Amino acid sequence: MEFVIRPRSQVQIFLDRIPVLGEVLQRPLGALGFFIVFMFLIAVIFAPVLAPYDYAKQDIPSMLQGPSRAHLLGTDHLGRDLLSRIIYGSRIALIAAVPSVSIALIGGIILGLLAGYIGGIVDDIIVIVLDTIKAFPAVILALAILALLGPSLVNEILVIGLAWIPGYARVTRAQVFSARQNLYVEAERSLGAPSRRIVLRHILPNILAPLLILAAMDLPVVITFEAGLSFLGLGVRPPTPSWGIILSEGFNFIRQTPWPITWAGLTLIITTLGFTLFGETLRDVLDPRLIGTRRA
């Protein structure tokens, strides 16, 4: 049997020097995911430069047009440029997704740490509360709360954050249960270290990685969820563009033109796919149980 050792390219050598991300980029799916996420972030950051028109500028005589030189993706029912609205819609997706996941992550970590480390009745109460929230499907919970608070982006973020807390809290709690059995925690405790120090300096840093990966993988789910709420009229207010609103408005005029739904739907699919591929690859790279399978 003959073994051939291929020399590593300059690019690969360069990527090898970048921890984690370099490894993600050396995997085709990871690279594709990263590329999509990167383009998404470019759209978010440079929306005013990239968008050819003001997203709210109406041009009634040009309404419901298909793609053309003037409007690359066509126009909506008020003659607004669809490309500009989709580019600006990426901002709403990110503005809704990142704070929502952050609220869920922070809330979940706090509750999970309390439940997992203190245990006893505190654990019981937290678990009951989390189970109660979890018992409601996220959409129903969101609809109920938004009906009470009224539709707005801030309320939408709060609702999504609340709906996602139980997931993070449960993972944190399980991780804490496992971590508190470790010798380094036992050693700290026997040395008389206070609980706060043990939790913040020893347990939390050791359980953070899987939670961050979970957060990265939740981003696309939350983006889709936000689009769903906006589709139902429970998200941002007009004329702010959200992909869900473009879908909803496009739905009303689908008989006249399919383009708004096509573009908004495709954007949503591709973005979700990009975040998922990136998150999955990141998980593979960071998960110690999969170390042996790297670059398989």
Partner 1 sequence: MARKLTRKRFLEVAGVGSALLALNACAPKPTEAPTAAPPATKPPAPTATPVPPTATPAPAGPKILRVRLYGDIQNLDPCFRISQNDDVVAHCVMEGLVRYGPNSYDLVNQLVEEIKQSEDGLTIEFKLKEGVKWHRGYGELTTEDVKYSYERFIDPELKAAYADDWATLDHVEIIDKYRGKIILKEPFAPLWRTTLPVASGSIVCKKYVEEVGIEKFATDIVGTGPYLFSEWMPKQKIVLKRNPEYHGDPPPWDEIHFIPIEDDKAAEIAAEAGEVDFSRISIASIPRFENHPNLKLAKYPSLRYRWIGMNVEHPKLQDIRVRQAIRYAIDVPAILQAAYMGQAEREKTLIPPGLLGHWKDAPVYERDVEKAKALLAEAGVTSLDLRFDIQDTTEYRTWAEIAQQNLKEIGINLTINPMDSSSFWQIGAGEKGKEVELFSGNYSMLPDPAWATMWFTCEQVGVWNWQRWCSPEFDELHRKGLVTMDDAEREKIYIEMEKLFDAACHSIWITHGVYAYVYSPKIVPAVTPHGVPQAEFMKPA
Task: Select from 18-26, 60-68, 92-100, 125-133 the region that touches partner 1 (CB under 8 A).
Answer: 60-68
Q: Which of 19, 61, 192, 292 binds partner 1 (CB under 8 A)?
A: 61
Task: Select from 86-94, 202-210, 213-221, 237-245 the region that touches partner 1 (CB under 8 A).
Answer: 237-245
Give me 171's structure tokens: 């993972």
The answer to whether 278 and 34 are in contact (CB under 8 A) is yes
Mask: binding to partner 1, 275-294, rule CB under 8 A, as x and -? -xx--x--------------
Mask: binding to partner 1, 6-25, rule CB under 8 A, as x and -? --------------------
Q: Can you list the alpha helix ranges (DSSP code H) found in 21-81?
A: 21-25, 28-45, 47-50
Task: Select from 77-85, 91-99, 107-115, 197-205 the region that touches partner 1 (CB under 8 A).
Answer: 77-85
38: contact with partner 1 by CB under 8 A: no
Structure-token match 């010798």, residue found: 183
Whether the bond between 239 and the residue before it is cis, its omega within 30 degrees of 0, is yes
Q: With helix as H, strand as E and coil as C, how does 191-238 read?
A: CCCCHHHHHHHHHHHHHHHHHHHHHHHHHHHHHHHHHHHHHCCCCCCC
Task: Select from 100-108, 171-179, 185-193, 270-278 the region that touches partner 1 (CB under 8 A).
Answer: 270-278
Q: Can you list the alpha helix ranges (DSSP code H) found in 114-137?
A: 120-135
Q: Which of 238, 290, 291, 294 binds partner 1 (CB under 8 A)?
A: 238
Question: Nearest-CA neighbor of 203 among 188, 215, 218, 190?
Answer: 188
Q: Which of 15, 32, 127, 209 binds partner 1 (CB under 8 A)?
A: 32
Partnered with residue 81 across adjacent β-strands are 75
Mask: binding to partner 1, 39-58, rule CB under 8 A, as x and -? -----------------xxx
Considering beta carbons, is residue 74 or 161 the nearer one to partner 1? 74
How many of the other CB atoms lie within 10 Å of CB of 187? 11
Q: With helix as H, strand as E and coil as C, how does 145-163 read?
A: HHHHHCCCHHHHHHHHHHH
Task: Select from 8-16, 102-110, 199-207, 260-268 the region that touches partner 1 (CB under 8 A).
Answer: 260-268
Provide the minimum distance between the beta carbon of 38 and partner 1 in the complex, in angstroms, as a whole number.
15
Residue 185, SS3 per DSSP: helix
C-alpha of 281 from chain center: 15
Mask: binding to partner 1, 195-234, rule CB under 8 A, as x and -? --------------------------------------x-
Considering beta carbons, is residue 166 or 260 the nearer one to partner 1? 260
Cα gap 198→202, rounded to integer Å: 5
* Residue ranges in contact with partner 1 by CB under 8 A: 29, 32, 56-58, 60-61, 63, 66-67, 77-79, 233, 237-239, 249, 251-252, 255-256, 262-263, 266, 269-270, 273, 276-277, 280
